[in-house]
């Protein structure tokens, strides 16, 4: 047993225990197409100037600004540059070249006159041979010209290290011709659920047995927090069976989570196996989720939650979710303030995490009872109502902290 | 051309155009393991009572409350029920049965005395033969007994239709033995990017060519909004080439998005192909993103964005993102109010969506210029600053709406 008894003490202990594993992750090179939501390991510099080449911001005519200083003026159309034209063109002074948005501005031109300020007075749109265009509006040098490098210079950073790649980052990387990026590997989390009462191998439940709700809940919570599930195992209350899945989980993972087997019963398999390995088992003044433990096995941190399904989910949410979100570069889990829609009775000396639902953005009502087996009640909740340890009777309207699920 | 000119008018038009496709999606049956984040099509009723059987909330001793009304009292230990014990047990009046959390409460017992309120005065933890336990605290009938069905009754709804499945829903479904659920298929979105200037087939960019930033941006935006990318194609400015990828996209999709080819240049491939099919092409008083179009091809709605990369991303964000999020059961995209950190100059008559970054929760600064080609500038933004059409000079401190990217 340790002297930790409060939620904050245990949370700090777990944060310290996990810090090395969360920091030391490997990196991998992935194609841009698979990089949405990944976190870049390093600054990504641009291999090119963006734009690559000086190009037109408008459909219109490329001119020398000096040639259109007095308008209207008629200019011979000496060329035509559609988008995708790959041959450099030079503008003959005193003429205009038709140009499309994004096409390279010809050498010698320094302004674009948008098509709506022009009129073909000789020739046709589909045949510019011998055409003449009337320019109706002057433009200053540089107008509607996108200079090379005006968005980003070669070598400048497109996305800084630790950015979680969203669509706009992928667009900028693609625009610069970056085809793959080095990203952090997600935290690999092994998940072990325990209990002789759990149904195995997709069989129907016999009397006295229950289905394993914790394995799928922890797997989903881990994925939602941006980590990956590296191993899933289940054992009954036989220490040899638990040791077997524990070893497999540790070998595959940066972090292992367990549920069940750490309280004071006669058959506490997680406790029985991990205590001889130096596990710290403690009772935190919280409900649900009092029994908690941590261990380190072959340098891999192991965080142990109690086995009641609500206890498991609440424990993950309170102690591990925020650390994984942060490691994944995801926005921190949200806590907010809300007012109680109705009075709540709590237990002195224990911090309660009651299941609640927001009925308005800042009004919360309790759903389901406080018991840790109410797994369907948990499904009806969208927040946890965080009731301080010293609170007993809270009146309607009392401000409380809520944790978004 | 249509008479629509404002962002709100065009947004309403697109919402109406897409409504049938978004509503009429098929459903599919998926295993619970693959259901995280999916939206259930119908109410899911519980096939069983939860809990399945009356069970103990504590490690301790099952007793008749009447037998422990006066304490301390010594009771013969007549049995031992570990978790997972599948044989129904009957309590002999005047005795106690050791029981673990979650194990079935024996018939005849109506209360559990937690182990901490008991002491074995004969026998050992690991050998209860002939054991006698001293009960030190009375318990009322029902205490620490979880009644069958106390969480949810057979036939009651575990998760209602349209719920997006999170970890807590999966836990409740798993606990009830539900192994697969009927979920809505994601909206299938086809994505077409156009332009003869786009580099194809992973070649390096020649002078005058650019890499396609819009295909990957739209694909990522679609995925992030909970839809699936059903087709991706690119064409140059040849109408036959565009028609080919358009037909393939329409055949595979509930909705097709295009970028490029809808403004007033000489080679507007999307416009040239879709206008004869009844497309509505319009100019919206917004920047970036003025040219916009919609069409319906073989009953599939087609929404066309302009091709500059920032225009494409902004158009999707303003016109389509919210509809897809809603269809996927995801939280609505967030808009918020923020104060300008510095003055902003805007263009009269056009609603501007400037790239901005929140420097504090409610203070926003402009990043990068307003031009629609600044794709790296867009990557530095985390919000769009929504500047009303009638605003020209906004002073520092002015309240504006921001759209979270």
pLDDT in tens, A15-38: 999 999 998 788 999 999 999 999
Residue A49: which of A148, A160, A145 has the closest Cα? Answer: A148
Residue B35: which of B156, B152, B142, B171 has the closest Cα? Answer: B171
Q: Are A168 and B378 in contact (CB under 8 A)?
A: yes
Dmax (CA) for chain B in angstroms is 99
- Indicate if A59 and A121 belong to the same structural domain: yes
User: Which of A304 and B263 is assigned the larger pLDDT?
Assistant: A304
pLDDT in tens, B4-31: 799 999 999 999 999 999 988 889 999 9
Average pLDDT rounded to a whole number, residues B365-379: 93
Angle at B228 between CA B223 and CA B229, to 5 degrees: 95
Average pLDDT rounded to a whole number, residues A332-342: 90
Q: Are A196 and A261 in contact (CB under 8 A)?
A: no
Average pLDDT rounded to a whole number, residues A367-393: 93
Contacts of B172 in chain A (CB under 8 A): 213, 375-376, 378-379
Contacts of A196 in chain B (CB under 8 A): 82-84
DSSP readout, B198-249? B--TTPPPPTT-B---HHHHHHHHHHHTT-EEEEEEEE-S-HHHHHHHHHHH
- Indicate if B175 and B117 belong to the same structural domain: no
In a domain, A311, yes or no: yes
Selecting from A53, A59, A208 the residue whose C-beta is nearest the C-beta of B207 gives A53
Selecting from B208, B308, B313 the residue whose C-beta is nearest the C-beta of A104 gives B208
- Whether residue B199 is predicted with pLDDT greater than 60 in this model: the reply is yes
Cα distances (Å, whole numbers) of residue B310 to A94, B27, B365 = 34, 35, 18
Strand bridging mode B291-297 / B280-283: antiparallel
Average pLDDT rounded to a whole number, residues B268-280: 94
Contacts of A57 in chain B (CB under 8 A): 371, 373
- Whether residue A264 is predicted with pLDDT greater than 80 in this model: the reply is no
Q: Are A72 and A134 in contact (CB under 8 A)?
A: yes
Q: Look up residue B399 and give its two tokens.
A: 């309240």
Average pLDDT rounded to a whole number, residues A366-376: 91
Contacts of B160 in chain A (CB under 8 A): none
- Indicate if B227 and B291 belong to the same structural domain: yes
Residue A378: which of A394, A367, A389, A387 has the closest Cα? Answer: A367
- Whether residue A323 is predicted with pLDDT greater than 90 in this model: the reply is yes
- Indicate if B293 and B196 belong to the same structural domain: yes
Average pLDDT rounded to a whole number, residues A231-241: 95
In a domain, B1, yes or no: no
DSSP readout, A72-137? SEEEEEEEEE-TT--S--BPPTTEEEEE-TTSBPPBT--EEEEGGGEEEEEEETTEEEEEEEEE-S
Q: Are A402 and A341 in contact (CB under 8 A)?
A: no
Average pLDDT rounded to a whole number, residues B143-170: 95
Q: Tell me which chain B residue has its CA closest to the CA of residue A176.
A: B211
The CA distance from A270 to B117, in Å, is: 24
In a domain, A128, yes or no: yes
Average pLDDT rounded to a whole number, residues B248-252: 98
Average pLDDT, chain B: 93
Average pLDDT rounded to a whole number, residues B57-77: 96
**Chain-chain contact of B172 with A264 (C-beta, under 8 angstroms):** no
Average pLDDT rounded to a whole number, residues A68-81: 95
pLDDT in tens, B280-303: 999 999 999 999 999 999 999 999
- Whether residue B202 is predicted with pLDDT greater than 70 in this model: the reply is yes
The nearest CA of chain B is from the CA of A218 a distance in Å of 7
The nearest CA of chain B is from the CA of A18 a distance in Å of 22
Q: Which residues contact B15 (CB under 8 A, 6 or more apart)?
A: B323
Residue B346: the pLDDT is: 87
Q: Give the model's confidence band at B84: pLDDT under 50 very low, under 70 low, under 90 confident, else very high.
A: confident
Contacts of B115 in chain A (CB under 8 A): 264-265
Helix or strand holding residue B258 (H, E) = strand B255-259
pLDDT in tens, B187-196: 999 999 999 8
* Cis peptide, bond prior to residue A337, ω within 30 of zero: no
The CA distance from B221 to B214, in Å, is: 10
Q: Which residues contact A125 (CB under 8 A, 6 or more apart)?
A: B266
- Give backbone dihedrals phi and psi of A358, rounded to 5 degrees, phi first: -80, 120
Query: Which of A175, A177, A225, A283 is the best substitution to test chain B (most B C-beta atoms within 10 A)?
Result: A175
In a domain, A248, yes or no: yes
Query: Which of B164, B379, B381 is the best substitution to test chain A (most A C-beta atoms within 10 A)?
Result: B379
The CA distance from A217 to A212, in Å, is: 9
**Chain-chain contact of A166 with B102 (C-beta, under 8 angstroms):** no
Per the listing, tokens 């917004």 go with B286
In a domain, B123, yes or no: yes
Residue B2: the pLDDT is: 56
Q: Give the model's confidence band at A172: pLDDT under 50 very low, under 70 low, under 90 confident, else very high.
A: very high
- Distance of alpha carbon A143 from the chain centroid: 40
Q: Give the model's confidence band at A346: pLDDT under 50 very low, under 70 low, under 90 confident, else very high.
A: confident
- The count of domains in chain A is 4
- The CATH number assigned to the domain holding B378 equals 2.40.340.10
Average pLDDT rounded to a whole number, residues A51-64: 94
Contacts of B204 in chain A (CB under 8 A): 177
Q: What is the DSSP letter of A152?
A: B
- Indicate if A226 and A123 belong to the same structural domain: no
- The CATH number assigned to the domain holding B125 equals 2.170.190.11
- Indicate if B167 and B40 belong to the same structural domain: yes
In a domain, A31, yes or no: yes
- Indicate if A123 and A239 belong to the same structural domain: no
- Indicate if A227 and A288 belong to the same structural domain: yes
Q: Which residues contact A248 (CB under 8 A, 6 or more apart)?
A: A190, A231, A233
Residue A160: the pLDDT is: 95
- Indicate if B39 and B89 belong to the same structural domain: no
Query: Which domain covers residue A110, as residue numbers?
Result: 55-146
Residue B230: the pLDDT is: 97
- Whether residue B265 is predicted with pLDDT greater than 80 in this model: the reply is no
Q: Tell me which chain A residue has its CA closest to the CA of residue B218.
A: A167
Q: Look up residue A188 and give its two tokens.
A: 């690999």
DSSP readout, B136-152? -S---TTTTEE-TTSSB
pLDDT in tens, B88-109: 999 999 999 999 989 999 999 9
**Chain-chain contact of A172 with B210 (C-beta, under 8 angstroms):** no
**Chain-chain contact of B313 with A204 (C-beta, under 8 angstroms):** no
What is the pTM assigned to this prediction? 0.86
- Indicate if B292 and B374 belong to the same structural domain: no
Contacts of B52 in chain A (CB under 8 A): 205, 207, 209-210
Q: Is the ipTM of this complex over 0.90?
A: no
- Give backbone dihedrals phi and psi of A313, rounded to 5 degrees, phi first: -65, -40
Q: Give the model's confidence band at A2: pLDDT under 50 very low, under 70 low, under 90 confident, else very high.
A: low
Q: Give the model's confidence band at B200: pLDDT under 50 very low, under 70 low, under 90 confident, else very high.
A: confident
Residue B99: which of B83, B111, B121 has the closest Cα? Answer: B83
Q: Give the model's confidence band at A298: pLDDT under 50 very low, under 70 low, under 90 confident, else very high.
A: very high
**Chain-chain contact of B84 with A237 (C-beta, under 8 angstroms):** yes
- Indicate if A202 and A342 belong to the same structural domain: no
Average pLDDT rounded to a whole number, residues A165-178: 96
Which range has the worst mean pLDDT, A128-132, B229-233, B318-322? A128-132
Q: What is the DSSP letter of B3?
A: S
Last residue of a domain, one of B118, B146, B174: B146
Average pLDDT rounded to a whole number, residues B349-374: 92
In a domain, A344, yes or no: yes
DSSP readout, B87-152? S--BPPTTEEEEE-TTSBPPBT--EEEEGGGEEEEEEETTEEEEEEEEE-S---TTTTEE-TTSSB
- Indicate if B169 and B267 belong to the same structural domain: no
Contacts of A267 in chain B (CB under 8 A): 82-83, 100
Q: Which residues contact A34 (CB under 8 A, 6 or more apart)?
A: none
Average pLDDT rounded to a whole number, residues A302-309: 96
In a domain, A192, yes or no: yes
- The CATH number assigned to the domain holding A170 equals 3.90.105.10
């Amino acid at each position: 047993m340790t002297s930790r008894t409060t939620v904050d003490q245990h949370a700090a202990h777990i944060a310290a225990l996990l810090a090395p594993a969360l920091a030391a992750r490997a990196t991998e090179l992935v194609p841009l197409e698979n990089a949405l939501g990944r976190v870049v390991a390093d600054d990504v510099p641009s291999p090119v100037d963006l734009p690559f080449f000086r190009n037109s911001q408008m459909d219109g005519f490329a001119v020398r600004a000096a040639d259109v200083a007095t308008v209207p003026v008629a200019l011979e159309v000496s060329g035509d540059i559609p988008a995708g034209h790959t041959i450099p063109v030079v503008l003959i002074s005193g003429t205009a070249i038709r140009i499309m948005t994004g096409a390279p501005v010809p050498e010698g031109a320094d302004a674009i006159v948008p098509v709506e300020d022009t009129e073909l007075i000789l020739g046709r749109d589909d045949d510019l041979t011998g055409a003449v265009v009337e320019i109706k509006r002057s433009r200053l040098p540089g107008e509607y010209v996108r200079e090379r490098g005006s968005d980003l210079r070669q070598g400048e950073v497109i996305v800084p290290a630790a950015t979680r790649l969203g669509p706009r980052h992928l667009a900028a990387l693609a625009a610069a011709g970056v085809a793959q990026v080095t990203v952090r590997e997600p935290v690999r989390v092994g998940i072990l659920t325990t209990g002789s009462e759990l149904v195995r191998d997709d069989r129907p439940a016999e009397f006295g047995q229950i289905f394993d709700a914790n394995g799928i809940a922890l797997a989903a919570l881990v994925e939602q927090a941006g980590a990956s599930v590296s191993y899933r195992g289940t054992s009954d209350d036989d220490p040899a069976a638990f040791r077997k899945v524990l070893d497999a989980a540790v070998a595959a993972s940066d972090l292992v989570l367990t549920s069940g087997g750490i309280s004071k019963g006669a058959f506490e398999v997680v406790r029985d196996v991990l205590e001889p390995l130096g596990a710290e088992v403690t009772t935190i003044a919280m409900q649900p989720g009092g029994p908690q433990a941590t261990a380190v096995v072959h340098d891999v941190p192991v965080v142990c939650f109690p086995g009641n399904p609500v206890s498991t989910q609440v424990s993950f949410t309170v102690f591990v979710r925020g650390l994984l979100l942060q490691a994944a570069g995801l926005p921190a889990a949200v806590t907010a303030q809300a007012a109680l829609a109705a009075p709540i009775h709590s237990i002195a000396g224990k911090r309660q995490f009651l299941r609640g639902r927001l009925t308005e953005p800042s009004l919360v009502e309790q759903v389901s009872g406080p018991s840790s087996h109410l797994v369907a009640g948990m499904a009806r909740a969208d927040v946890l109502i965080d009731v301080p340890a010293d609170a007993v009777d809270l009146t309607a309207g009392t401000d409380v902290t809520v944790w978004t699920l």
